[in-house]
Amino acid sequence: MKTRLLFLGPPGAGKGTQAAMLCESGGMKHLSTGDLLRSEVAAGTELGKEAEAVMNRGELVSDALVLAIVESQMKNLSGQGWLLDGFPRTVPQAEALEPLLAELQQSIEAVILLELDDAVLIERLLARGRADDNETVIRNRLEVYREKTAPLINFYRDKGLLTSVPAHGSVEVITERIRESLS
């Protein structure tokens, strides 16, 4: 199975859920920028203070801040596979990832795009109920996704790396779809 992966998709598509399942069985390092940012917020660091208000509005944290986090995490990997969950989220982030991977002499083996209708996304996020999961903020996050993140679909399609996976159905069914696309 491919073990250097990137997950793309709108908020609530299940990137974090599926990444955890795959990394547990495949031994990859799960690198979720959302989780890493939330740990900084919980620890009350300067970086967390800067990120918190931005996340609660449903906006994206600055590329520079996210890149600094990802760089330090990736440079500390010990040769194992990895799954980037929720990063990159903008074209500049994707462009900045390339020299970092070149420096580490690694490359992305597959990009999985989890696709789901807005109505189901909103339903799932409202049920999750995190600080950034109220309807106004969710709608903003969907707009931000369309404007800033969706251009990455063509960015990775043009590189021949993209596979679309329908993200409706049970967690187990979706995991199986992803596994099949990675074999």
- Residues near ligand B4P (CB under 6 A) are 9, 11-17, 33-34, 37, 54-55, 58, 60-61, 66, 86-87, 89, 93, 124-125, 127-128, 132, 141, 170-171, 174
Nearer to ligand B4P, 104 or 171 (CB): 171
Task: Return the ∠ at Cα 5 (arms to 19 and 134), rounded to 5°.
Answer: 40
Min dist. Cβ of residue 87 to ligand B4P (A): 4
Residue nearest to ligand B4P (CB): 34
Nearer to ligand B4P, 11 or 81 (CB): 11
Min dist. Cβ of residue 93 to ligand B4P (A): 6
User: In sequence order, which residues have a C-beta less than 8 Å from that of residue 39 and are 6 or more positions away?
Assistant: 48
Min dist. Cβ of residue 99 to ligand B4P (A): 17
Nearer to ligand B4P, 23 or 79 (CB): 23
Q: What does the alpha-carbon distance between residue 118 and residue 11 come to, in Å, rounded to a whole number?
A: 9
Min dist. Cβ of residue 92 to ligand B4P (A): 10
Nearer to ligand B4P, 102 or 171 (CB): 171
CB-CB contact of 77 with 29 (8 Å): yes
Q: What does the alpha-carbon distance between residue 17 and residue 14 come to, in Å, rounded to a whole number?
A: 5
Nearer to ligand B4P, 23 or 55 (CB): 55
Give the 3-state secondary structure of residue 82.
Answer: strand
Single out the residue of 121, 144, 143, 115 nearest to residue 133, CA to CA. 121
Min dist. Cβ of residue 120 to ligand B4P (A): 8
Token code pair at residue 144: 């931000």
Q: What does the alpha-carbon distance between residue 14 and residue 97 come to, in Å, rounded to a whole number?
A: 23
